[in-house]
Amino acid sequence: MILYQPIIPTDGIAGWKFLQSTYDKQFDTFSKDPVLSRESDYFLENIGKVETAADLVKDTRLLGIALGAFGLDDQLPMKALVQRVLEDGSSADDALANKLGDDRWVAFTEAFGFGPGESVKTKSAKDMENIVFSNKTQSFEAAVGQQDESMRIALFAQRELVNIATDVNEDGEPTSVNTKWFNVIGQPALQQMFQTALNLPSNFIQLDIDQQLGIYKDRAQRFLGTDDLSVYADPEKMEELTTRYLAQARLADFQASQSSASTALMLLMQ
């Protein structure tokens, strides 16, 4: 159990600004936690011996770090699924990672290279050190989320939305507006961020994905001034979106608490 807990003195925008200003120091302290350090060292010492997806899956400690690096640690019990994803790779359209509708699985399988025609990366010290660093980052964000889920989502977006904004296709050309939106829809945290920032209802995700796309783009044009996600390569634009998201999230929490209070009062008056 990791002992260090991130410090977030208040919620909303004020809490976010504090977290940003102290992030480097807090993350450094978190990364030195004895449990996290021990598991990281174990991974780096043993991952080079892994030659197949089955090898990785059968070592729970290695697999925990591997999945954690992509925010998939809750999938640790699903070893058959994880092995299938790794063995399928992502190059084929019908590969399982491409069917799951969550881009984290694609990134996960590509990071290890167990798929058909791919080169296994477990002996690359640099690649595996990146996995360890990503796991520490995801673990820190998860710890933040235990105190304030909206802060966790904001931290995740600071990393991942920039990647989507600057994404290019196989020809080196920027991916289309629609492709960028589909990448957002495929990542639960980003989907939650835009759903909240654009004031969409919780059952919105039950709509057909093409309907979601159209509504996202319309709402983004209306509330954010553009439906082109490439603008979030600009830190100022990213901060504007984050500020709107946190404000909307706090408003939603307030409205929920008011509704709960009203319900409790009605029950008492009966």
Task: Summarize pLDDT for 135-144 with one digit per residue, the tens.
Answer: 999 999 999 9
The pLDDT value recorded for residue 213 is 96
**Does position 255 have pLDDT exceeding 80, yes or no?**
no
Average the pLDDT over 109-130 and give the result: 97
Domain 12-143, CATH homologous superfamily name and number: AGR C 984p-like (1.10.3700.10)
Q: How confident is the model at residue 253 (pLDDT cuts 50, 70, 90)?
A: confident
Q: Which of 113, 114, 96 is nearest to 105 (CA)?
A: 96
**Every domain range in the chain assigned CATH 1.10.3700.10:** 12-143
14-64 confidence digits (pLDDT tens): 999 999 999 999 999 999 999 999 999 999 999 999 999 999 999 999 999
Q: Residue 164 pLDDT > 70, yes or no?
A: yes
DSSP the chain: ---------SSHHHHHHHHHHHHHHHHHHHHT-HHHHHHHHHHHHHGGG--SHHHHHH-HHHHHHHHHTTT-GGGTT-HHHHHHHHHH-SSSTTSHHHHSS-HHHHHHHHHHT-STTPPP-TT-HHHHHHHHHHHHHHHHHHHHHHH-HHHHHHHHHHHHHHHHHT-B-TTSPBPPHHHHHHHHHTSHHHHHHHHHHTT--GGGGGS-HHHHHHHHHHHHHHHTS-S-GGGGGSHHHHHHHHHHHHHHHHHHHHHHHHHHHHHHHHHHH-
Q: How many CA atoms lie within 13 A of 147 on its CB side?
A: 17
Q: Write down the pLDDT at residue 172.
A: 85
- The pLDDT of residue 238 is 96
Q: What is the pLDDT of residue 31?
A: 94
> What are the b/e assignments for 174-211, b being 16+ CB within 10 Å?
ebebeebbbbbbbbebbbbbbbbbbebeeebeeeeeee
Full DSSP string of 142-164: HHHHHH-HHHHHHHHHHHHHHHH
C-alpha separations of 133 from 130, 141, 177, 259 in Å: 5, 12, 30, 42
Whether 167 contacts 174, CB under 8 Å: yes
- Residue 2 pLDDT > 70: no
Instruction: Using pLDDT thresholds of 50, 70 and 90, give the confidence band for residue 267.
Output: very low
